[in-house]
Each structure stands twice: as C-alpha cells, then as structure tokens.
Amino acid sequence: MKGSDMSPRAILIAGPTASGKSSLALGLAKKLNGIIINADALQVYDNWRVLTARPSDAEMSQAPHKLYGHIGKTQEYSVGHWIAEITATIAETDCLPIITGGTGLYFGALTHGLSAIPATPNAIRTEGNRIRLDAGADWFRHHLAEFDPETLQTLDQQNPARLQRAWEVLEATGHGLSYWHARPTRPLIALEETMPILLNWNVNDLNGRIDSRFDQMMKNGAVEECETARRAGFDPDLPSNRAIGAREIIDAFDGNIAMQDAVIKAKILTHQFAKRQRTWFRSKMKNWLQLDMSTKLDLAAFADEIVTSFG
C-alpha cells in the first residue's frame, strides 16, 4: 500500500460485540481512503447477515469492504485461511487497511504470527463432534486437565468449541496447542506498525446496547434468516451456524420454546459472549489504545484526531 513511512501501516479496531467497531471503521475509511477488512470469525459466512451484524449494503457502498460473507456455510475456514486472505487483500490494495472485528485470535495471528499447526484429519474432527454431543464439554476439560494442563490454563473453559479444538490438536499431533503457539511464524504486521484501538464499555451500558441491537435484528430479518436456515436443514455443529440466536429462534419454530423466551435467552448468551471477549481483550490487548466508550466519547472528534496523525 502507499503511504508515509511515518504513518501506521494499518488501523486495528477491536472490541466486544455491539461496541461500535463498524461505525468507527466506516467513519475512518471515508476520511482516510481506507479499506475495511473483516476480523470476525462469523461474519465471513454467507448464510448469516442479520444475526452476525454484518455491514449493510448501504454501509458497504460507502467504502470498500473485504472478507465479509464470502464463505459458504459448509466450507472449512480457520484463522490460517483468514491470514492467507488478508495477506492477499493488503498486497492488492493502495488503500489504508482498517481491520475490524471481535475475534481476538485473528488479531493475535495478524500481529504476533500464526502457529504452524498441522491440519486436523476429518476422522478426528468427526470423533470430536461425537464426543461433544454425547459427553459434553466436560469430557474435553477433564481430558486436557490430565494430558495437556498447560493448554487448558490458557483456554476459555466455558467455550466448548475451544475445548474441542484443543483436544483435536492434541489427538492429531501429539502436542498441545501451547506447544504450537510457542512456535509462531513471522507476523504479517507487527503491532508497533499499527494504530491498535480497543473499544471498552461499561458492562451495563454494553448489555443495553446488545439488547437494543437484538430487538432491531428481530425487526430487520433475523426471523426470516432463521426460517431460511431451518428449511435448508439447520446443522448446529457447523461452525457457520454458531451465530447467537439462530438455535434459539429455530427452537421456537420447532415449538421447543416460546419466541419471547428465545429472544431473552439469545440476549443472555450474547451478554456472556461479550464478557468472554472482554476477558480475552484485557489479557491480550494491554498495549492497545483503550477507548472508554461509556464516557460518551465524541467518535467524530476522535476520528479527526486519527486523520490528523496521518498527516
């Protein structure tokens, strides 16, 4: 990309769900001739737009957007795929990369390098899915406590997908994730070459934003999106179908829960997800610029300050 040697090579914008990342990214992209690049593991899939809060067509028409909704629901996709795609995207553009999302692992791989973990054989992944369905996440937790406690200490132990992934790597390679994470490749962009911004919110304020946004999602097509997924044969084990609210709304269609209760459950699950994100960010992003959004920060003025810093 073109630009002054004194200017950051990219702007990174991270934060929990519903924190205002996309709005800030769009404002900066319009002021700085930027290209917005997705760093959210669910927003890459094409089957969920409303429930993953992907940018609207109107928003995407105002600035270039990349790596949004371009992966089919059954396609395999990992942080390794994302690194390969963002590497190509940055190489092909003269615009300033503005990388935004809530998936901390993507930012970690971008700025610290990606561990060269061998691919997991399909047979082991299938076995992992079977164990998770039959025995639950506790089985992985107990197994890792015995055979890979070092990795277990680094995981969100309330996240079944993370526990299963750690078991799969140990089973497939004979080494735990902590072993592979200690052997990263060279980062695409070092953190000191970027302007890294983390959006922080008071918990009550953020939960209020989450609830309001989910109500808006219900008005903007979440129900129809779930009806489409249900008709196509909803498989909750697909990574693409982990959009919060999908399973709950489809359960309401199936008569397993009242729709009102499904919405309440989805909001609570989103609060819990945001809490896990905040915990991860506090641990891994201490050196980022911390923006306290609950102080009614003037984002327009802040965006102007960033523009000024780019000369």
pLDDT for 4 equals 42
pLDDT digits (tens, 9 = 90+) for 274-302: 999 999 999 999 999 999 998 877 777 88
E-strand stretches of the chain: 10-14, 34-38, 65-66, 96-101, 194-200, 289-292
The residue with greater pLDDT, 81 or 3, is 81
pLDDT above 70 (res 61):
yes
* CATH architecture, domain 10-114+185-309: 3-Layer(aba) Sandwich (3.40)
Residue 236 or residue 35, greater confidence: 35
Residue 250: pLDDT above 70? yes
Between CA 241 and CA 228 the distance in angstroms is 12
Write the single-letter amino acid at 302.
F
Are residues 15 and 200 in contact, defined by beta-carbon separation less than 8 angstroms? Answer: yes
Q: What is the pLDDT of residue 116?
A: 75
- State the CATH class of domain 122-181: mainly alpha
Answer for the pair 210, 267: CB distance below 8 angstroms, yes or no.
Answer: yes
pLDDT interval class at 115 (50, 70, 90): confident
Q: What pLDDT does 3 receive? A: 39
User: How far apart, in whole angstroms, are the C-alpha atoms of residue 41 and residue 22?
Assistant: 15
How many other C-beta atoms lie within 10 A of the C-beta of residue 29? Answer: 23
- Whose CA is closest to 264, among 241, 250, 243, 245? 245
pLDDT grade for 1, boundaries at 50, 70 and 90: very low
Residues 151 and 178 sit within 8 Å (Cβ to Cβ): yes
Q: Regarding predicted confidence, which is higher, 45 or 3?
A: 45
Q: How does pLDDT run across 191-206, given as a tens digit for each residue?
A: 999 999 999 999 999 9
User: What value does the mean pLDDT take over residues 169-193?
Assistant: 89
Cα of 191 vs its chain's centroid, Å = 18
Mean per-residue pLDDT of the chain: 92
Domain ranges of the chain: 10-114+185-309, 122-181
